[in-house]
Amino acid sequence: MRGPGRWAVLASMTVAALVMVFPFALVALNAVKTPEEYASEGPLGLPGGLYLQGIVDFWNRVDFGEKLWNSLLISGSVAVLAVVLSVLNAYALGIGRVRGRLSILVLFLVANTLPQEALAYPLYYLAKEAGLYDTRLSMIIIFTVIQAAFGTYLLSAVLGQFPKEILEAAEIDGAGRFRALVRVVVPISRPTISVLMIFFFIWTWNEFFLPLIFLISNDNQTVPVALGVLQGERYMDATMSSASALLGIVPAVAFFLIFQRTLTRGITVGAVK
């Protein structure tokens, strides 16, 4: 195709892309409008100026800083702890090749596909018995295990390819097994480990079902839970709704921009796993 044809293809691809990002633009546009502007001009009119009171009001009303901190605390802890567990497991399975390795891997894989619905009520019941219900710690423990199930599966395959010569050299130098793991295996596998850590962080940040069940008090809620529960509340007028949507979008897009390079590499890693 030449001449006008190729521009038609570009134009239709661009239109499709604009449709995809249109909601983002619209949310941003309306989050900075006054309620009067929204009432008179509607959602499509341009704002007269930068009106940030709607965002500030919503922020204070739900104590959004606290929600951000809860999400950050839970996701950050899970990312670190789940990577530690994945590395320990993968060391035993991928390099140590312990007996029954294959069945253990299958177990982790099945655990990874199980719907959380099939664990939710017993977890809720057990957490209540243990005094962990409605604590951020309960979410950290549960998601550490769930994410580590996937991490073990992926990292075992990677460490299965780990060059034996390096391990032998470490052993000749008198390095114990734990020392070899910390000083040799982890530094060499750093690229995969950092991709895993970012994935765990974002996946945990995005979780909704279990946090909705476990974190019922306002003080413990994560960003998605707080926003999801407030949706449809009576006091949520049009501008406040768009302010709340914007506050949900900003951290997610920020993580994407920060981690973009590692992520695009990682998405491919995940796909060929």
Partner 1 sequence: MRVRKKGYWLYLVPSLVLFLAVIVVPFLMNLGVSFTRWSGVGTPRWVGLENYARLLEDERFWLSFQNNVALIFAMAIVPTVLGLVLAAALFDYIGRRFGPRTASALRAMYYLPQVLPVAVAGVVWGWMLHPSYGAVNQAFGLELDWLGDPDLALATVMAVMVWFQLGYPVVIFMAGLQRVDPAYYEAAELDGASWWRKVWHITIPQIRPEIFVVLLTCTIAALKVFGPIFVLTRGGPGNATLVPSYFSYLNFFQKSNVGYGSAIATVLALIIVVVTFLFLRVQERES
Residues between 132 and 151 with contacts to partner 1, criterion CB under 8 A:
141-142, 144-146, 148-149
Residue with tokens 């390095």: 175
- By CB under 8 A, residue 177 contacts partner 1: yes
Using the contact rule CB under 8 A, the part of the chain among 54-62, 115-123, 153-161, 184-192 near partner 1 is 115-123
190 membership: H or E segment, kind and range: helix 190-206
Sign of CA dihedral 94, 97, 101, 102: positive
Q: Show the site string, 225-264: x = touches partner 1 by CB under 8 A, - = not.
A: x-xx--xx----xx--xx-xx--xx--xx-xx-------x
- State both tokens at 99: 């007996």
Least separation, in Å, of the C-beta of 169 and partner 1? 10
Least separation, in Å, of the C-beta of 71 and partner 1? 9
Least separation, in Å, of the C-beta of 228 and partner 1? 4
Q: How far is Cα of residue 262 from the mean position of the Cα atoms in its chain?
A: 14
User: In this chain, which of 72, 157, 158, 167 binds partner 1, going by CB under 8 A?
Assistant: 167
Q: How does DSSP assign 98-137, residue by residue?
A: -TTHHHHHHHHHHHHHS-THHHHHHHHHHHHHTT-TT-HH
Which is nearest to 223 in space by CA: 74, 55, 80, 81? Answer: 74
User: In this chain, which of 53, 60, 218, 268 binds partner 1, going by CB under 8 A?
Assistant: 268
Using the contact rule CB under 8 A, the part of the chain among 49-57, 60-68, 112-120, 187-195 near partner 1 is 112-120
Least separation, in Å, of the C-beta of 190 and partner 1? 19
Which is nearest to 28 in space by CA: 206, 253, 234? Answer: 253
Which is nearest to 125 in space by CA: 213, 226, 47? Answer: 213
Per CB under 8 A, which of residues 13..72 are in contact with partner 1? 13-14, 16-18, 20-21, 23-24, 26-27, 30, 38, 42-44
Per CB under 8 A, which of residues 72..101 are in contact with partner 1? 85, 88-89, 91-93, 95-99
- Note whether 31 and 54 are within 8 A (CB): yes
